[in-house]
Structure 1
Amino acid sequence: MDMYMDLGVKLVISFFGLWIITFVTGRKTISQLTPLDFLSSLILSEIVGASLYDDKVNIYHLLFALVLWTTMSYLFEKATTHFVKFGYLTEGRAILLIDNGKLNQKLLNKYDMEYKQLLSMLRRQSIFSLTEVKYAILETDGSLSVMRKPEYEPPTAQDMGMVAKADTFTVTVIDKGKLLEESMLGKPIDHSEIKQKAQEQGFDSLEDIAYAEYGDNGELYIFPKGEVLE
């Protein structure tokens, strides 16, 4: 009976402990999980699984392991949020595989991606030829974001006789007041140009900018600190 009681208490602690860890570190869908999140879930399953059926591991050991892991996960999550470069190091960066219709073969080879794999990902978005693609970005979660060339886009307002502006491709250039070296692999950032564009909009200090995107139309889109929801 004592064994069943001990097992039941461990299960209850594990259930609520895992729920608390998920709540503290942030709820994510499967597609949003990073390699670090996946590794963390594996380690948690080992901690819980080993403690349930090992008589030498008591309830206090289980509580200690869950509390310590929750604290480490929380601190690590906050570090990746507040320190941009550290976040890129741990979670990776988006990769520009196709830039304005041109395939970046160096990045394709660097990340061991074959053409058939790229085409398979494109077909899932109803794109059956590389010639239809203007921009293709490999996201940190492994998914592919695509912008078609205008001639391959579905009928638009312009096709129906209405005036419409062309889509703008943008990359992140400033994050939390820091000018990034390269937010997307394959798309370097011209620091002098970004600083000049910011000054033209009245921002002499980049520290006053929470977030900024630079478009292929030459425009810098700025979100000042205080106007971006945390």
Structure 2
Amino acid sequence: MDAKSLIIELIVGFIALFLMTKILGKVSLAQITTFDFISSIVLGELVGNAIYDKNVKLNSILLSVAVWGLLIYIIEFFTQKFRGTRSILEGKPSIIIRNGHLDREEMKKNKLDLDELQNLLRQRSVFSIREVAYAVLETDGSVNVLKKSKYDTTKNSDFNVPQKPVYFPITIINDGEVDYGNLKEAGFDEKWLFNTLRKHKIDNAKQVFYLEWKKDEGVYLEKM
């Protein structure tokens, strides 16, 4: 394939994809649903093959983009007209923290473990699960958070309240497994952990889904 043909096909492919996304009203890549993500991959593959395969002509690019664009348009028409198809084709949000408690069943359904949840929460400037009243896992994989009232974002300076020290929460038990490194970092030993569990009428760490320690607030615990 000579340079001129390659340049022409790249330009045509780019314009075709750009126009199609404009017509369909796509949101930004950070907000795409699973179906949109698959569509992006397929469209990229179609154009890529059309550009680098010598046997594929320019009209093949346009035909491929047009057909796939039509399929996307039909799917989106159905999701807008028929509410029942949305959960199948676009997915639906899941409440993974409800009334301050982790919903293990919803986490399992969405293949979400505690480490991933903590990562998503930190992206929302939430560093402790105890701060969350509700957390919703959106269809694009992000998490939106409603904090408990005591952790709202009102600034202390608004009321001339003296600043307090800030402490980072330490995860000690994660899905039934004790992190002894973190336990030591928190300044405790197995005896302290055993006594703490006994206070919550728990005999074994395996019965604990999540336990964290925060210096200014103590223990936060979720049972299995």
TM-score, L = length of structure 2: 0.63
- 1:22 Cα deviation (Å)? 0.9
Q: Structure 1 residues 152 and 3 mapped into 2: Cα distance closer, same or farther (>3 Å)?
A: closer
- 1:89 Cα deviation (Å)? 0.8
Equivalent position SS for 1:137: strand
Of stretches 71-80 and 134-143 in structure 1, the one that deviates more from structure 2 is 71-80
Q: Structure 1 residues 27 and 151 mapped into 2: Cα distance closer, same or farther (>3 Å)?
A: same
The one-letter code sitting in structure 2 at the alignment partner of 1:100 is N
Counterpart residue number, 1:13: 12
Identity %: 33
Q: Structure 1 residues 107 and 58 mapped into 2: Cα distance closer, same or farther (>3 Å)?
A: same
Of stretches 68-77 and 136-145 in structure 1, the one that deviates more from structure 2 is 68-77
Higher helix share: 2
- Kindly name which structure, 1 or 2, has the bigger radius of gyration based on alpha carbons: 2
Q: In 1, distance between residues paired with 2:128 and 2:136?
A: 16
Q: In 2, distance between residues paired with 1:125 and 1:8?
A: 42
- 1:7 Cα deviation (Å)? 3.2
Counterpart residue number, 1:93: 92
2:34–2:139 CA contact under 8 A, matched in 1: no
Counterpart residue number, 1:133: 132
Equivalent position SS for 1:155: coil
Q: Structure 1 residues 8 and 151 mapped into 2: Cα distance closer, same or farther (>3 Å)?
A: closer
Q: Structure 1 residues 111 and 8 mapped into 2: Cα distance closer, same or farther (>3 Å)?
A: closer
Q: In 2, distance between residues paired with 1:123 and 1:59?
A: 47
Q: In 2, distance between residues paired with 1:8 and 1:124?
A: 40
Equivalent position SS for 2:56: coil
TM-score, L = length of structure 1: 0.62
- 1:63 Cα deviation (Å)? 2.3
1:7–1:52 CA contact under 8 A, matched in 2: yes
The one-letter code sitting in structure 1 at the alignment partner of 2:70 is T
Q: In 2, distance between residues paired with 1:120 and 1:63?
A: 41
- 1:4 Cα deviation (Å)? 4.5
2:121–2:127 CA contact under 8 A, matched in 1: yes
The 5-angstrom pairing of residues 107-126 of structure 1 reads 107-126=106-125
CA RMSD of aligned residues (A): 2.3
The 5-angstrom pairing of residues 1-230 of structure 1 reads 3-155=2-154
- 1:8 Cα deviation (Å)? 3.7
Q: In 2, distance between residues paired with 1:136 and 1:93?
A: 14
Counterpart residue number, 1:197: none
Q: In 2, distance between residues paired with 1:68 and 1:108?
A: 37
- 1:86 Cα deviation (Å)? 0.9
Q: In 2, distance between residues paired with 1:70 and 1:4?
A: 28
Q: Structure 1 residues 13 and 104 mapped into 2: Cα distance closer, same or farther (>3 Å)?
A: same
Counterpart residue number, 1:183: none
